[in-house]
Amino acid sequence: MNKNLAKNLASGHSACAGCAFPSIVRTILGEATTPVVISNATGCLEVTSTIYPYTAWKAPYIHSAFANAAATISGVERAYLAMRKKGKIEKKIKFVAFGGDGGTYDIGLQALSGALERGHNFLYVVYDNGGYMNTGNQRSSATPYGAGTETTPIGKESFGKIEARKNLMEIVAAHRISYLAQANIAFMADLKIKAKKALAVDGPSFLTVFSPCTNNWKFPTSQYVAIAKLATETNFWPLYEIENGNYKLNWEPKKITPVMEFLKTQGRFKHLFSEKNKAILEKIQKNVNDEFARIASLSEE
């Protein structure tokens, strides 16, 4: 085990049993070879790790507003550069921002885009649980098509979310940063490799990590790793990276499992298994097939 694994985030936080993001944070920060400074958008990670007057963070940490984790870390990074120039700081520091999908895909997208465009030396990590979980499971633009949430309820007039999830990897890739990757908490070795690469970048880098939510996806707390594993085994959540503009598919299942095997593990999709929603399931499978084929094609070029 990396001796740095618990160096920056201690136990004693109040994250739900079966929540993925404590492991995500520890794994990523465990690959840091220099001191880190952390900015964290309002969300599940922030509220469970900083219950006043206590904190689980063992590194310099700034709680920013929901919308501006990337802007906050940008300001800190520039202040650091100014102090280094004046000789007031000599040590090398890496700056890391964490946000959920609500604070990244939606509310924080403008701040993230600006920080990427300006070229700040920081890593942005989004733990993607597909909704605004901290406030009760409202849909975000990361919520999958067909999922039931508090704001996309299931009923006679609705089968859940009617829009496709936003492709944030492609949005970030359009900023031409040197490294970005999609990872999954169930594939820890892959996550470690990607974290190490992302932290080594001199400039902006980006990781999006699949983070199952036991409370609002509605599955037993013991199953979060198994469900995360199924997400990649069904090609719902491919593991890939884009390095200097080059796509690389990191893992491909030898035998593809139908996406319904992933969907049936969660209460948020249970309505899709009625006869009237058969076409919705077929559309989800087609979308998954098409997106995986697109990434695989780009990886071969």
> Position 64: which residue type?
S
Residue 150 has pLDDT above 70, yes or no: yes
Higher pLDDT among residues 238 and 16, named by residue:
238
What number of other Cβ atoms are within 10 A of residue 241's Cβ? 22
In angstroms, the CA 114 to CA 105 distance is: 14
Largest CA distance in the chain: 69
Residue 127: both structure tokens together: 């733990």
* Cβ contact 100:45 at 8 Å: yes
pLDDT in tens, 131-147: 999 999 999 999 999 99
What number of other Cβ atoms are within 10 A of residue 247's Cβ? 18
In angstroms, the CA 94 to CA 277 distance is: 48
pLDDT classification of 52: cutoffs 50, 70, 90: confident
pLDDT classification of 7: cutoffs 50, 70, 90: confident
CA distances to 41, 52, 229, 288 from 226, in Å: 28, 33, 5, 19
* Cβ contact 56:62 at 8 Å: no
* Cβ contact 299:249 at 8 Å: yes
In angstroms, the CA 199 to CA 95 distance is: 9
What was the pLDDT predicted at 131?
A: 97
What was the pLDDT predicted at 1?
A: 40
Higher pLDDT among residues 2 and 213, named by residue:
213
What is the model's pTM?
Answer: 0.96
What number of other Cβ atoms are within 10 A of residue 24's Cβ? 27
Query: Domains, the chain, ranges and CATH?
Result: 21-300 (3.40.50.970)
Q: Which of 31-40, 46-55, 195-204, 236-245 has the lowest mean pLDDT?
A: 46-55
Residue 90: both structure tokens together: 């000599």
Q: What is the DSSP letter of 103?
A: I
Residue 220: both structure tokens together: 């037993």
Averaged pLDDT for residues 165-189: 98
Cβ burial 142-181 (10 Å sphere, 16+ → b, else e): bbbbbbbbeebebeeeebbbeeebbebbeebeebebebbb
Q: What is the mean pLDDT of the chain?
A: 95
